Amino acid sequence: MLLYAAKSQLITCTLQKSVHSVPVTVNDIIIEENNSVKLLGVHVDTHLRFSNHVDSIIAKVKPATHALFQLKKVGVTPSSLAVFYRIRILSLLSYAAPGWFPFLSNNYKMRLERLQKLCLRVILPSCDEYDQRLSILGLQELSVYLDICCLKYAAKISQTASHPLRQYIPPIQRTGKTRHIPLARPKCRTSLCSKSFFYKYF
């Protein structure tokens, strides 16, 4: 595969507040550098906070939320609205979750949770409690659901010997000299590393 320099972008991922990078050229063309790039539908930023990705999710979900309102107005049943929510909205909220969800701060997790709360309030306006709506519709809190998505993907990687990501699973090390001491993953040097998919779910 040849790199098309004119359509390529450069991003430097770092923990430092200011980014000092060296210009990269391909065939005498300087690769454009950005603080955020879109990779397979996921917005990756310099500090791996994924704030831009959350903003993009919210922007995509808004039209679907409006459609949910309109379906409710014309008398679509709650069960059918729940199907619409799962297919049209929940799929957007959970797309590629293992790649970005572990890095989110609680503030951004709550922003996404509020979207689900709004949708469920439209579907079941007669219920007063969020937990009650979740129980009736057979759903989970969004943060819990995304955690489960990450765990399922981690299990898939562990169970598939030929999976291309299996080599990135941190090695297990003994924490003591005897065999009775439990095994543990290597300690992370940064908080960002501890949040990563491979250290959090393996």
Residues 45-89 have pLDDT tens digits of: 988 899 999 999 999 999 999 999 999 999 999 999 999 999 999
Kind and range of the H or E run holding 151: helix 142-159
Q: 139 vs 20, 53, 178, 183, 198, CA distance in Å?
A: 45, 23, 44, 35, 26
User: 178: pLDDT confidence band, cut at 50, 70 and 90?
Assistant: low
- Size of the chain in residues: 202
Strand partners, 45: 36
12 contacts: CB under 8 Å, gap ≥ 6: 19, 21, 33, 46
| Rounded mean pLDDT, 165-180 | 72
Q: How many other C-beta atoms can be found within 10 angstroms of the C-beta atom of residue 124?
A: 17
54: nearest Cα among 106, 15, 112, 13: 112
Burial 24-33 (b: 16+ CB within 10 A, else e): eeeeeeebeb
Which is more confidently placed, 176 or 81?
81
pLDDT at 32: 84
β-pairing verdict for 32-33 and 9-10: parallel
